[in-house]
Amino acid sequence: MTPLDFDATRLPSPHLTDAHEAWRKTVRTFVDKEIAPFVNAWDEAGGFPRQLHQKAAAIGLIGIGYPEEFGGIGEDIDVFHSIIASEELARAGSGGLIAGLMTHGIGLPPIIALGSDDLKTRIAPPVLAGEKIIALCVTEPSGGSDVANLKTRARRDGEEYVVDGEKTLITSGCRADFLTVAVRTGGEGAGGLSFLLVEADRPGVSRTPLKKMGWWMSDTATIHFDNVRVPADNLIGTENGGFAGIVVNFNMERLSMAAQAIAFSRVCIEDAARWAVDRKTFGKPLSKHQVIRHKLAEMVRRTNASQALLDNCAWRVKRGEAPVADLALLKTQATRTMEFCAREAIQILGGAGYIRGHRVERIYREVRVMAIGGGSEEIMLDLAARQLGL
- Measured between alpha carbons, how far is residue 373 from residues 138, 145, 191, 253 in Å? 12, 9, 24, 9
pLDDT at residue 74 in the model: 86
Report how far residue 286's alpha carbon sits from residue 128's, in angstroms, rounded to the nearest whole number: 47
pTM above 0.75, yes or no: yes
Stated as kind and residue range, the H or E segment containing 118 is: helix 117-128
Q: What is the pLDDT along the chain (390 residues), one digit of tens a residue?
A: 567 999 999 999 999 999 999 999 999 999 999 999 999 999 999 999 999 999 999 999 999 999 999 999 988 999 999 999 999 999 999 999 999 999 999 999 999 999 999 999 999 999 999 999 999 999 999 876 778 889 999 999 999 999 999 999 999 999 999 999 999 999 999 999 999 999 999 999 999 999 999 999 999 999 999 999 999 999 999 999 998 878 778 889 999 999 999 999 999 999 999 999 998 888 899 999 999 999 999 999 999 999 999 999 999 999 999 999 999 999 999 999 999 999 999 999 999 999 999 999 999 999 999 999 988 999 999 999 999 999
Provide φ and ψ at 91, rounded to 5°. -55, -25
- Measured between alpha carbons, how far is residue 350 from residues 103, 214, 218, 292, 346 in Å? 34, 20, 27, 12, 6
Burial class (CB in 10 A: 0-12, 13-18, 19+), 187: exposed
Q: Domains in the chain, ordered, with CATH?
A: 18-128 (1.10.540.10), 134-241 (2.40.110.10), 244-387 (1.20.140.10)
DSSP per-residue letters across 196-254: EEEETTSTTEEEEE---SS-TTS-EEEEEEEEEEEEGGGEESSTT--HHHHHHHHHHHH
Residue closest to 334 by CA, chosen among 253, 252, 263: 263
Q: How far is CA 66 from the centre of its chain?
A: 17
The tally of CA atoms less than 13 A away on the side-chain side of residue 301 is 6
| SS3 assignment, position 93 | coil
Q: Is the dihedral of CA 81, 83, 86, 92 positive or negative?
A: negative
Question: Residues with catalytic annotation?
Answer: 253
Residue closest to 307 by CA, chosen among 29, 21, 9, 58: 9
Q: Residue 72 has what DSSP assignment?
A: -
Q: What CA dihedral angle connects 228, 231, 232 and 235, to 10 degrees?
A: -80
User: Strands 134-137 and 153-157: what pairing?
Assistant: unpaired
